[in-house]
Amino acid sequence: MDHISWSDPDQVSRALGVFESMLRVYRTVVESSYSTENETPQQRWAKKLEEARREFEYDGYQITDRLRIFGSAESRPDHEMADAQLYAEALRLLRHARNQMERLPSTTREKPEPEIRDVLLVALGAAFAGRCTAESQNGAGRTDLLLRIGDRNVLVGECKIWSGSTKFRERDIPQLLGYLTRYDRYAVIPLFIRMARPEEIVEKAAKELAEHPRCISAAMPDHENRQYTFVFRSRSATPWEVEVALIPFVIE
């Protein structure tokens, strides 16, 4: 990086973008590495991230939980952390709704996707005072779930019933990406699985997301919570990044 002019804002911005990409790759390596200590992959990464933060703070930069790098004196949108927290809470609610729906098969038995989606809409709407809507215009179409708070989208969701790897790769993933606009940073795919051996389906879906040409990183699978997280980059000439969570539902 010696050839970078640190007095040139454009060069600094590009360099920080490279560092952010390197951190995402490093996270994958750390979380997937073997450890003799009794700690989870997330705990291993938390230690390494803290080390990296101390190094960057020495040079006047800070690293966010989403691995964005900012100058310590640089102003950031006040809503960035709030949006991340709201997104995490929405995912938590979706996971709990999933668990309850799986305990009560009658809530999904033989029902089409829109009716299953409405159960999730009720769960999110109740928690967020009705600010989650269905079939809402966003980007190139109408998305199944849209959580909008303070005139910002903090979650864009597209529900899908598993119909095979080809459809998921060629239709379902592109459909979700088409609904995202420049200021959308968080998305989710609630994936409804009605087939035997659902674990194999989850592996296939996660593989399709991880190998998608727009995917730039995949976090270690959270098997305990059955959530799988990826970071995608848009096709735009000035691309932005979106965190995409996959939450599988085993239904009847």
Question: Within 10 Å of residue 89's Cβ, how many Cβ atoms?
Answer: 16
Q: How far apart are CA 86 and CA 161, in angstroms?
A: 26
The ranges assigned to domains in the chain are: 9-71, 79-250
C-alpha distances (whole Å) from 31 to each of 41, 42, 84, 116, 174 are 4, 7, 21, 34, 28
Identify the pLDDT of residue 65.
72
pLDDT at 53: 84
CA atoms of 13 and 19, how far apart (whole Å): 10
Give pLDDT tens digits for 232-252.
988 777 788 899 999 999 998
Residue 189, strand partner residues:
246
Instruction: Give the per-residue pLDDT at 175.
Output: 96
CA distance 119 to 126: 11
Q: What is the structure's pLDDT at 78?
A: 47
Tens-place pLDDT, residues 137-182:
999 999 999 999 888 899 999 999 999 999 999 999 999 999 999 8
Amino acid identity at 61 = Y
- The pLDDT of residue 43 is 77
- How far CA 134 is from CA of 41, 87, 153, 158, 245, in Å, comes to 35, 17, 13, 10, 18
Q: Point out the residues of the chain with pLDDT beneath 50.
A: 1-2, 75, 78
Spatial separation of the C-alpha atoms in residues 230 and 161, rounded to whole Å: 20
* 100 sits in which H/E element: helix 79-103
234, 217 in Cβ contact below 8 A? Answer: no
Q: Which residue has the tokens 């379902």?
A: 172
In 3D, which of 158, 227, 131, 146 has the Cα closest to residue 184?
A: 146
- Beta strands 241-250 and 228-233: pairing type? antiparallel
